Chains A and B, each alone.
Chain A
Amino acid sequence: MRTYTLTRGRTTPRHLLGLETVLEHGPGRPGPGQAEECERILALCRERRRSVTELAGRLCRPVTAVKILVSDLLDADALVVPVTAPYAATDTDADARPSPQLLAALSAGLKRKWPDAMAHPQAG
């Protein structure tokens, strides 16, 4: 199977990566003998930050396979996970939902982008 070759037989990514984890181009160089897909991942991330899902979609490879390659590139510091602003009011819980402040910011941002969009008023 092609994917199996791509990941050199590995089936599980070394890093805990979410579908939405964003990757940024880093200072390191990948080691020799990397799959050609690794160069494509780096080229895409040099243009802008990309999520795991976006990379998988652009490479037409399954998400898990891309997570395995991304893990290699993270180990080589060729990719890094950028610092992001705190996500939820408490960042102790990985499953935390976005804070009310973030939701308010999202609402404001959407309204600025689509001034004609209307939230449907809801009873209750």
Chain B
Amino acid sequence: MPWPTPRPDDPATVLRTEPRPHTVAPTVLKVVIAGGFGAGKTTAVGAVSEITPLSTEEYLTEASTGVDSLAGVEAKRTTTVAFDFGRLTLPDAPVPLELFLFGTPGQDRFVDLWYDLSRSAVGAVVLLDTRRLESSFTPVSFFEDIGLPFVVAINEFDGAHRYHPEQVRTALKLPARIPVVACDARNPNHVAGVLLTLVDHAVKTTPTINLQDA
């Protein structure tokens, strides 16, 4: 089925002011890569990103006022959170796509950021260092709670005791439908494979919607 072209009469796609040439930007898709301290998030983003991962800062207020306001700057409990950004273009996809990757720390004080990152995302990869299994409990239950498709990827560090994915599944109490895979976060083919696993999983969990316009 051909991809529908943007409808110029759709208010969401109308340019705000004078007409400009209709340059149609690639569609942006997002994937969140969450994991504990040192789990390999930046490495995984960098393995497939076309730019060196950027470290971006945002304010974080302990009271959940949301990240869209600087009002809490003077408040005592304002800190900043750094997260990774990487991107890759997929010009050979059936429709031009750009994939944004967001690498984010795994502590529960970052949930405001996770909500922002998860909005309209394809899904999430929970990157897991088997030496610190417990650091993935929070992201796993967050993505479960909000219903965002996610996969668990075991980053196999040298010298770390190798767990079988099924052992990890048991330890994290993950249902059978959640993919648990092993990878080397430094290897682009592995990280791309994890992304493919996530996309396959997301397809299975996306409700089929009738296209009215089709």
Q: Are A110 and B192 in contact (CB under 8 A)?
A: yes
Q: How many of A's residues come within 8 Å of B, CB to CB?
A: 73
User: B3-11, B33-41, B127-135, B155-163: which lies at the A interface?
Assistant: B3-11
Q: Are B70 and A12 in contact (CB under 8 A)?
A: yes
Q: Are B179 and A63 in contact (CB under 8 A)?
A: no
Q: Are A53 and B85 in contact (CB under 8 A)?
A: yes
Query: Which residues of B118-136 are within 8 A (CB) of A?
Result: 119-122
Q: A103-B203, A124-B176 are in contact. Are A65 and B70 (CB under 8 A)?
A: yes
- Residues in chain B near residue A118, CB distance under 8 A: 189, 193, 196
Compute how far the CA of A51 lies from the CA of B54 in the bound complex, rounded to whole angstroms.
Answer: 12
Chain B: CB-nearest residue to A90: B209
Q: A53-B85, A105-B95, A106-B97 are in contact. Are A117 and B189 (CB under 8 A)?
A: yes
Q: Are B71 and A100 in contact (CB under 8 A)?
A: no
Compute how far the CA of A93 lies from the CA of B152 in the bound complex, rounded to whole angstroms.
Answer: 28
Q: Are A91 and B12 in contact (CB under 8 A)?
A: yes
Contact with A along B19-49 (1 / 0, CB 8 A): 0101111111110000000000000000010
Q: Are A108 and B94 in contact (CB under 8 A)?
A: yes
Q: A19-B117, A63-B56 are in contact. Are A83 and B16 (CB under 8 A)?
A: no
B145 located at the interface, meaning its Cβ lies under 8 Å from any Cβ of chain A in the complex: no
Chain A: CB-nearest residue to B72: A11
Q: Are A27 and B90 in contact (CB under 8 A)?
A: no
Chain B: CB-nearest residue to A16: B68
B contact patch SS: mixed
Compute how far the CA of A124 lies from the CA of B180 in the bound complex, rounded to whole angstroms.
Answer: 13
Compute how far the CA of A106 lies from the CA of B122 in the bound complex, rounded to whole angstroms.
Answer: 10
Compute how far the CA of A88 lies from the CA of B211 in the bound complex, rounded to whole angstroms.
Answer: 10
Chain B: CB-nearest residue to A50: B87
B100 located at the interface, meaning its Cβ lies under 8 Å from any Cβ of chain A in the complex: yes
B201 located at the interface, meaning its Cβ lies under 8 Å from any Cβ of chain A in the complex: yes
A34 located at the interface, meaning its Cβ lies under 8 Å from any Cβ of chain B in the complex: no
Query: Which residues of B156-214 are within 8 A (CB) of A?
Result: 176-177, 179, 181, 188-190, 192-197, 199-204, 206, 208-209, 211-212
Q: Are B54 and A103 in contact (CB under 8 A)?
A: no
Q: Are A98 and B193 in contact (CB under 8 A)?
A: no
Q: Are A83 and B95 in contact (CB under 8 A)?
A: no
CB distance from B23 to the nearest CB of A (A): 6
Q: Are B93 and A87 in contact (CB under 8 A)?
A: no
- Residues in chain A near residue B27, CB distance under 8 A: 84-87, 102
Chain B interfacial positions (CB closer than 8 Å to A) = 1, 3-7, 10, 12-13, 15-18, 20, 22-30, 48, 51, 54-59, 67-71, 73, 80, 85, 87-88, 90, 92-97, 99-100, 102, 116-117, 119-122, 176-177, 179, 181, 188-190, 192-197, 199-204, 206, 208-209, 211-212
Can you name 6 A-B pairs with beta carbons within 8 Å? Answer: A53-B56, A83-B13, A85-B5, A106-B29, A106-B93, A113-B88
Task: Given contacts A97-B206, A118-B193, list 12 more A-B pairs with CB under 8 A.
Answer: A51-B100, A77-B16, A80-B16, A84-B26, A85-B4, A85-B24, A87-B27, A90-B212, A100-B206, A102-B29, A103-B202, A104-B203
